[in-house]
Amino acid sequence: MAEATDATLVLVTGAGGFIATHIVKQLQEEGYRVRGTVRSLEDEERIKKLKELCPDAKHELELVEADLTKPESWEPAVKDVKYVIHVASPFPTQTPKEESELIQPAVEGTQAVLKACVAAKSVKRVVLTSSCAAVGWGPGADTTKTFTEEDWMEPEKLNAYGKSKTLAEKAAWDYVKELPDEDKIELAVINPAYVMGPVINGSMSTSSEVVKRLLEREKPFVAKLNFPVVDVRDVAAAHIKAMTLDDAAGKRHLIVNSNVWMKEMATILSKEFKTQGYNVPTANCPGPILWLTSLFDRTIKMVMPDIGKVYKFDNTRVS
Ligand code: NDP
């Protein structure tokens, strides 16, 4: 297993995101030099927050601008980097009108990052953040089985987000497979379940949106949804292990802690926050009402195919 040395520079893409900030923090705590990409350096408050993720860091966090829709932005970002943890990808709370809004940056952006890594000549391994959505989560997934790293979803059956993750991961594997020997770089993939846990980037993300909506009682009910969940700190640690463990190269890694019903989540939140004045809904919504709501609510529409379903994943590889 490789160790952090002064010379080891790691690039984290989308460094300001929910998961990426935990990766940056843990890398800095382990002594790595970290460069992160953000789409814009102009939001001073956000940048300050990122720079303060690890106050005792041996090396100050370096931030550069790069965008998945701008292939030319990745060459300077990967310069002199040994490991790339490619986390950035659009993860919206609502289904976009055009699927391409997600698929294009996810797929072409991943290809652009990998292309820049090859050109840099310094990159040994890329760790890609994929998703359980690329394995067995969503419409058409067989809920009678426990999914393993051998499984793939059929993209055409998925919503735009699931499609974007599946196609981006496939594109990454195809890309490294086709590389000539002299250009070879290693690829390791992390496939997290629904990621929950402390928000340290100071902004909302799709993951925290569920808890926020429950706390704000956006609806007077909970949907009968089941989530395979995983702690964001475990997800970050898994990325770093996948970056350094010899055995992780060329493999996918499912990462999931347990399955939780939304009603259970709501009950935990209610117990914890009731005394602070939060009126968290804990009753399941009757099916017909949920269906009616989905006709005008894009978030409910997005989750309708998952109502009542339990998706199970085998996490043996990472445990
Ligand atoms: P966030 O929305 O917090 O992070 C997404 C990151 O992607 C942000 O940093 C965002 O940058 C960046 N990004 C989006 N579009 C672009 C673009 N065009 N160019 C450059 N950067 C872009 O979500 P999470 O941290 O939860 O997700 C991170 C990754 O983990 C994603 O790949 C997601 O698919 C994956 N994942 C997440 C799960 C979860 O439950 N949270 C589960 C499984 C996988 P900016 O800050 O500028 O918006």
166 lines ligand 1 (CB under 6 A): no
Position 188 in a domain: yes
Kindly report whether the global pTM for this prediction surpasses the value 0.85. Answer: yes
129 lines ligand 1 (CB under 6 A): yes
The pick from 12, 13, 19 for probing ligand 1's pocket by mutation, whose C-beta has the most ligand atoms within 8 angstroms, reads 19
Residue by residue, pLDDT tens for the chain (319 residues) are 555 665 799 999 999 999 999 999 999 999 999 999 999 999 999 999 999 999 999 999 999 999 999 999 999 999 999 999 999 999 988 778 899 999 999 999 999 999 999 999 999 999 999 999 999 988 788 999 999 999 999 998 888 999 999 999 999 999 999 999 999 999 999 999 999 999 999 888 888 888 999 999 988 999 999 999 999 999 999 999 999 999 999 999 999 999 999 999 999 999 999 999 999 999 998 889 989 989 998 778 878 888 999 999 999 999 8
The three-state secondary structure class of 110 is helix
The domain spanning residue 82 has which CATH number? 3.40.50.720
Position 283 in a domain: no
Report how far residue 100's alpha carbon sits from residue 108's, in angstroms, rounded to the nearest whole number.
Answer: 11
- Count: domains in the chain: 1
Report how far residue 262's alpha carbon sits from residue 283's, in angstroms, rounded to the nearest whole number.
Answer: 10
165 is catalytic: yes
pLDDT at 2: 58
**292 alpha carbon to ligand 1 midpoint, in Å?**
30
Position 269 in a domain: no
Position 112 in a domain: yes
Residue 295 DSSP class: T
Neighbours of 64 (CB within 10 A): 17
Position 3 in a domain: no
Position 88 in a domain: yes
| Marked catalytic residue, from 165, 219, 274, 301 | 165
Position 217 in a domain: no
> 261 - beta bridge partners?
226
Task: Supply the range of the domain harboring residue 18.
Answer: 9-205+229-257+311-318
DSSP line for 165-224 = HHHHHHHHHHHHHTS-GGG--EEEEEEE-EEES---SSS--HHHHHHHHHHTTSSSSB--
Strands 146-147 and 312-313, how do they pair?
Answer: parallel
Position 168 in a domain: yes
